[in-house]
Structure 1
Amino acid sequence: MNPFKRILLFLPVLLIAFSCEDDMEDVMNNDGNQDDNGVNIVEMTVGNSGASAYFVSEINGNEEVTSLNEDNSTWALTVGTRYELNVTGASAHPFALRDTNNEILLSMNSTDGSFEGNADVNFQISGSNFSFTLTQELADALDNYVCTIHLGMSGSITTN
């Protein structure tokens, strides 16, 4: 077969192969771990053991934030990641993030946290959902999470 015909014969195969590669990149970027802007997203379900502890029962994303089903576990959060928490007992156990002086940074209840208006943090609450992006500034201030009604429901937070 003449070399020109071989090229023409394999050209459609090459076009399909490169087209599929682009589609795979799109699928990988939209698999639930990143938003349309490439921001990493970690979804967590946070439950409670009565009024004594919070625990994480599920984590979806590419970070191992904490051990599952461990009361008041330490969380390891990463700067630049967006965290979307579903706090299953939120009405009786409003969730908040605090600094080392136990001042509220972000909160589910009527207490205004000092980072709630920060556009880069993009704090949002809706029912039992608590979402924020961990900026370097928030990470520098962040120390722990707590129930604003039952202060024994608290755990440490480290940041990377």
Structure 2
Amino acid sequence: MKKTIGILTTGLLLIAATFGCSKEDEMPDPNAISATITVNNVGTSAYIFTAVNGNGAAATLNMENAPLTLKIGSRYQIINLAGLPHPFLIKGIGNTTLLAQNDVVGTFESNSAVNFISTDTGITFTLTAEMAAQIAPYQCGRHAAMTGNISAIN
């Protein structure tokens, strides 16, 4: 909120000073990462989470195909140490793909609020309420056994 103070000196000169924060300063950065989740693989049978740093995400570390909990409205970076031989996908109800690290196009990848980014080393996205309503498991894009549940919480 900006505040302006006017000062009248000698009846002729008005000096105005503006201080405070602009609207841009008050808005959170939509690209700020809430949590970074690091995932690796156990052959072609499982993903394991090796680190969860930040707020809004939880998973048991080093457990095969562990459940993953994500908070709606938070932005996540998933670092996939297993690489492109094991592309990380977020699936939806009815086995649809919502987000994919490989060449599959997920239904939420072009959603501006999700702000999806995919690289050779992982994915970054914001979990919107709309996406959370459809979220199901995570899964490897090449190995169906590498899968685990995702829960979305408020």
Is the TM value for this pair above 0.5?
Answer: yes
CA distance in 2, matches of 1:94, 1:147: 5
Displacement of 1:91: 1.5
Alignment-derived partner of residue 15 in structure 1: none
Would you say the 8 A contact 1:39–1:80 is kept in 2? no
Greater strand fraction, Structure 1 or Structure 2? 2
Greater helix fraction, Structure 1 or Structure 2? 1
Note the 1:41-120 alignment, pairs <5 A.
41-120=34-113
Provide the aligned length of Structure 1 versus Structure 2. Answer: 126
Note the 1:1-160 alignment, pairs <5 A.
36=29, 41-160=34-153
Structure 1 counterpart SS, 2:133: helix
Would you say the 8 A contact 1:47–1:87 is kept in 2? yes
- What is the CA RMSD across the aligned residues, in angstroms? 1.6
Provide the TM-score with structure 2 as the length reference: 0.77
Displacement of 1:127: 1.6
Structure 1: 4+ residue segments shifted above 6 A: none
Structure 2 counterpart SS, 1:51: coil
Residues 38 and 50 of structure 1: CA distance in aligned 2, closer, same or farther (over 3 Å): closer
Would you say the 8 A contact 2:72–2:127 is kept in 1? yes
CA distance in 2, matches of 1:64, 1:134: 11
Would you say the 8 A contact 1:44–1:60 is kept in 2? yes
Q: Which runs of 5+ in 2 are unaligned?
A: 1-27
Q: Percent identity?
A: 35
What is the one-letter code of the residue matched to 1:55? I
What is the one-letter code of the residue matched to 1:48? N
